[in-house]
Amino acid sequence: MNVRTASEQNTREYAFSPRDFECVKKLIYARAGIALAENRQEMVYTRLSRRLRATGSRGFDDYLERLERDGQDAEWESFVNALTTNLTSFFREEHHFPILANLVKKRQPGQTMKLWCSAASTGEEPYSMAMTMIETFESLKPPVRILATDIDTDVLATAREGVYSLDKLDSMTPERVRRFFMKGKNDTAGYARVRQEVRDLVTFRQLNLLDPKWPMRGPFDAIFCRNVMIYFDKPTQYRILQKFVPLLDSDGLLFMGHSEVFQHAADLIKLIDRTVYKPVVK
């Protein structure tokens, strides 16, 4: 447990008690299903302090009472955005993309592939999916539609722009960078933008995976939900998987993160490759 002395607490701009942290844990779990560990107290204080300043709140009591009082307060969106961790990169967990390519190669000619990236973050993952499809079909207009969703509206705005610092492209081959990005000049030097043909394959939408109803329709050929479930407890994971499975094609694939294990959902999905799952046929 992260324990701070009284003198350390006094150096903070705002008082932040164990009760405040428990309240934050309760609110973010109810709103977004995120189960905060005890060692996240410092992260919570740092990120939410910015919201206290932005809203002119007198302290954490004032700010948290406002959220609890009004479930429709516009500040809820900023609260969730502040506590959402968005670690991603192009072609992260690269072994998944050849598997995705092999999957779509098996589809019938003329069939439009439907893919869903359910935790799009700043866009690197869905754009990696789009690049894979262009390479697989050897066409800038492959028969593919990619839905990309995230709970965090701030990162979705970045994703739609498709502009990244050049160091973000280091994980890709020079050939891919030349083919799929336009490097900036003058005022935009040091940045690159995803080419329009790639961006046209992806539709970004805001979605909370805890929403009781999801607006999309299946079946999807593949769903990516990587390194998201680690923030949920097992009952929440199970409820989300229960909603994923009916949206997958009968031989569709569910791509998960390397640190996620779903033995508690063996009646829903089965492991067929490294962190790749298929629905259990009943």
Which one from 20, 150, 152, 221 is the annotated catalytic residue? 150
Which one from 4, 47, 107, 176 is the annotated catalytic residue? 47
Cα(131)–Cα(187) distance, integer angstroms: 27
Active site residue 221: no
Active site residue 226: no
- Would you please indicate which residues are annotated as catalytic (active-site) residues? 47, 150
